[in-house]
Amino acid sequence: MKKQWIVVGIAVMGVSLTAFGAAAQDPGPQGAGASEAAKSSAPHSLNPVKWVKKAPNTTTEQPDAKTDQNTMLTSALQTQGVIPADTDLKNTCSPIKGLDECVAALHARHNLGLDFDCLKSNLTGTRTDAATSSCKGEPRKRAMSLSNAIRALKPGANAKAEAKNAEKQAHEDLKRGRT
């Protein structure tokens, strides 16, 4: 008896899936406006990969927009005294992975009076410059987080709070730079 119920259940599922598949493949109304009607009544994709929104492609962004943002952000940071007047943000941030991380490091340097070359070498994990030979500690082969880099350069500071403050300032600067 149990086997009969299983067979009946499988048959019912097969019939219902076949009916659903046929309804999904229905070409819709025929005629001049058929394609518009089909597009508006078409079900969403059943592919879960298409459900996830993709980040916008930054390669299609105009290069002038990036240059303008860089110029605006550089002038804002120069006005705040975070970077010197003759410094370009793009050149300063080139070895660091992300712009947000670099701006946060610049704010941490400004707030705590740290050597930016040492901070940059701790963040990137490289120490090749003669300017970084005066940095505290042994050269590292791995990159540090901002709070660990602050802790290494200024042990007496509350590194976690200072890193959070610098990241908040960087976020505000980048938000203003995009608008």
Q: Does 137 fall in a domain?
A: yes
Q: Does 28 fall in a domain?
A: no
> Model confidence over 83-121: pLDDT tens digits?
888 888 787 887 787 888 888 988 998 899 888 888 888
Instruction: Work out how many domains the chain is built from and give that number.
Output: 1
The C-alpha angle with vertex 104 and arms to 101 and 105, in degrees rounded to 5, equals 85
Q: What is the pLDDT of residue 165?
A: 92
Domain that holds residue 176: 95-179
Q: Does 129 fall in a domain?
A: yes
Categorize the per-residue pLDDT at 59 as very low, low, confident or very high, splitting at 50, 70 and 90.
very low
The amino acid occupying position 135 is C
Q: Does 31 fall in a domain?
A: no
- Is pLDDT at 62 greater than 50 in this prediction? no
Q: Does 159 fall in a domain?
A: yes
Cα separation, 160 vs 148, in Å, equals: 8
Which is higher by pLDDT, 35 or 174?
Answer: 174
Name the residue among 85, 82, 88 with its Cα closest to residue 119.
82
- pLDDT mean across residues, the chain: 75
Q: Does 105 fall in a domain?
A: yes
CA distances from 47 to 43, 50, 51, 54 (A): 11, 6, 7, 14
- Tell me, yes or no, if the pTM score tops 0.75: no
- Is pLDDT at 50 greater than 80 in this prediction? no
Q: Does 48 fall in a domain?
A: no
Helix boundaries (H) for 81-115: 89-92, 99-112
Q: How many CA atoms lie within 13 A of 163 on its CB side?
A: 17
